[in-house]
Structures are given as C-alpha cells and as structure tokens.
Amino acid sequence: MNSRVEICGIDTSALPKLTHAESMELLKKAHSGDEKARDEFLTANLRLVLSIVQRFSGKKECIDDIFQVGCIGLIKATENFDTSLNLRFSTYAVPMIIGEIRRFLRDSSHVRISRSIRDTAYKALQARQEIESANNCEASMEQIAAMLDIPYQSVVYAMDAISDPVSLFDPIYHDGGETVMIMDQISDAKNTDENWLTSVSIEEAIAKLSERERQILNLRFFEGKTQVEVSNEVGISQAQVSRLEKAALSSVKKNIS
C-alpha cells in the first residue's frame, strides 16, 4: 500500500504514475488538442513539481505560491516539449520548472535587479544544468561563461546578483542564552579608532606646513604627479621640488610621532 504524503495540499499517493511510453502518448494527444490527455499528463507530473518545490522550502515565500509557479513551469514544459526527440520529459522539464521558480523569487525580492542581469543569470542557470547533466559533476563559472560565450565576470556578477540577501541580524551560532549574529563577526580593518586618530593627526600635521609645501604634497601624493610635472606646474626647479617634498614629509612625520 502506498504511504500517504501530503505536500501543498496534494496527496502524493493518489497521483498516477506513467511509463515513458504512456507519457509520450499522452503528450502527443495533448499537442493535438486533446484537453483530457493534457490534464491527465499534467496531473501525473505534479509529483515532479512537488519534488522540486521541496528544494525551496526554506524560502520566506509561501510554499503554496512556489508550487503554483512550479506548475506554470510544468505547463510551459508540456507545451514546448518535442516528442520526436529521444529525451525523457523530466530531463527537459526540471530546468524549466526551476527557472520559473527562481524568476518568481527574484522578481519578488526586495532587492531590484535589472532585467538584463536577471536574463543573464537565468541563462547561466540553464547552462549550468546542461553542463552538470552532461558531465555528472558541478559546473564551474568558466565553463558556464564559455558555453554562453560571455565574459566570466558577467556570469559571476549575474549569479551574485540573484543570491538571496541576508540580514546582519541573522543568527549563525547559538550557545545557551547567547546568540552570535552575522554583524558580530564583521570587522572593519579600515575605519578603526586607531586609523581614525592617525588620519586626524596627519591632517593636523599637514595644516602646519607652508602653502607651497601643502601644494607639492597634494600634487605628488594625491594627484600622483612626478616631481618634473610638479616643477612645471609650480614654476620651480625639480631639485627645489625634491627638497621641499623631503622637508615637508620630515615635518609631518615629526608632528605625528
């Protein structure tokens, strides 16, 4: 006796099972306009949608909404599948159902992503599915980029863009009464109190220089000009620029030490 499992309000034990030959026969009838055959085929393949929906059970969206979107993917796969090909329907339908669900999740996200980036990501997901099905191993970003004939960086950027955002308040560890959140593990190596105080000290030291010394340091270290370029702009010799630069740096170091 089949065990009863209910997902999204559907009793999976009551769903019919079809052989490959029976599936192809129903599909041919459905494509010729037989509505009864179409409904029977879709009902028999709801188990396929349900198996995919379970992969997204951790998402914040309602699982019933995801199931309905998966059914749309199933309908599209049913309408577009070529029965003349020596291919199992599930091999063709799974990527289409997953793609439909992923588009729904991306479009309902609070983070708005441009249509072109979403399209690139969708194509990358399809390419990854094809590569992994053919090679039976995880596809690399380089392989996906080569298959789509687009830059590697574009694939990485598109895939990153559709990744689910996380909250800084999401817990990553819980020990008794203490919860460690993501924000507790983030440090800023640049904007520390020590670096901030050093920056203030440098600004105060530079302020004590003469106007010409400040101008030379600005041109040399903030605008990246050579001593020759600075000498031409300031109107003094390169040797004078070098001398003033050394004196200014020495004065700054002395005032912040």
Q: What is the pLDDT of residue 5?
A: 45
Asked if residues 216 and 238 have their Cβ atoms less than 8 Å apart, the reply is no
**Rounded mean pLDDT of the chain?**
80
Which residue type does 156 have?
A: V
Tens of pLDDT along 163-173?
766 666 666 65
Q: What is the pLDDT of residue 176?
A: 58
- Considering only 74-78, 102-106, 142-146, 165-169, which range has the smallest mean pLDDT? 165-169
Q: What is the pLDDT of residue 29?
A: 92
Portion of the chain with pLDDT greater than 70, in percent = 75
Is the pLDDT at 80 greater than 50, yes or no? yes
Asked if residues 130 and 99 have their Cβ atoms less than 8 Å apart, the reply is no
> Band of the pLDDT at 149, cuts 50, 70, 90?
very high
For 81, counting Cβ atoms within 10 Å of its Cβ (0-12 exposed, 13-18 middle, 19+ buried), the class is buried
Q: State whether the Cα torsion 231-234-237-238 is positive or negative.
A: negative
What is the mean pLDDT of the segment spanning 109-135?
A: 80
Three-state DSSP at 186 gives coil
> Token pair of 28, please?
């041919």
What is the mean pLDDT of the segment spanning 24-49?
A: 90
Q: What is the pLDDT of residue 240?
A: 92
Q: Which helix (H) or strand (E) holds 125?
A: helix 115-135
> Band of the pLDDT at 145, cuts 50, 70, 90?
very high
Quote helix, strand, coil % in the chain, to nearest 5: 65, 5, 30
DSSP classification of residue 150: S
Distance between CA 69 and CA 97 in Å, rounded? 8
Q: What is the pLDDT of residue 148?
A: 92
DSSP classification of residue 14: G
Is the pLDDT at 90 greater than 50, yes or no? yes
